């Protein structure tokens, strides 16, 4: 089994459609500028309420990428 070393970044993703979409948006945006993304961990979840309804979802992610 080979050994890998990872670096972590932290990003926040948002979406009016749900937590799943916020996660996907954050990972997709990180992938535009960082190579070798391997995993993510949701560390925070929150949202914005407007007029008694959920208006927006936000997640904070740690994303690990392999160092070459």
In this predicted structure, what is the pLDDT of residue 4?
Answer: 87
Residue 41, SS3 per DSSP: strand
Residue 26: how many other CB atoms lie within 10 Å:
23
What CATH number is given for 5-63 in this structure? Answer: 3.30.1660.10
> What's residue 67's pLDDT?
92
Secondary structure of residue 49 in the 3-state scheme = strand
Write down the pLDDT at residue 24. Answer: 98
Verdict on whether the full-model pTM lies above 0.75 = yes
Residue 66 to residues 6, 10, 60, Cα–Cα distance (Å): 4, 15, 20
List of the chain residues with pLDDT < 50: none
pLDDT in tens, 8-27: 999 999 999 999 999 999 99
The pLDDT score that the predictor gives to residue 1 is 52
């Amino acid at each position: 089994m080979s050994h890998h070393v990872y670096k972590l970044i932290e990003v926040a993703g948002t979406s009016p459609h749900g937590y799943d979409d916020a996660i996907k948006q954050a990972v997709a945006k990180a992938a535009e500028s960082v190579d070798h993304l391997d995993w993510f961990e949701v560390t925070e979840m929150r949202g914005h309420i407007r007029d008694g309804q959920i208006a927006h979802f936000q997640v904070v992610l740690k994303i690990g990428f392999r160092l070459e």
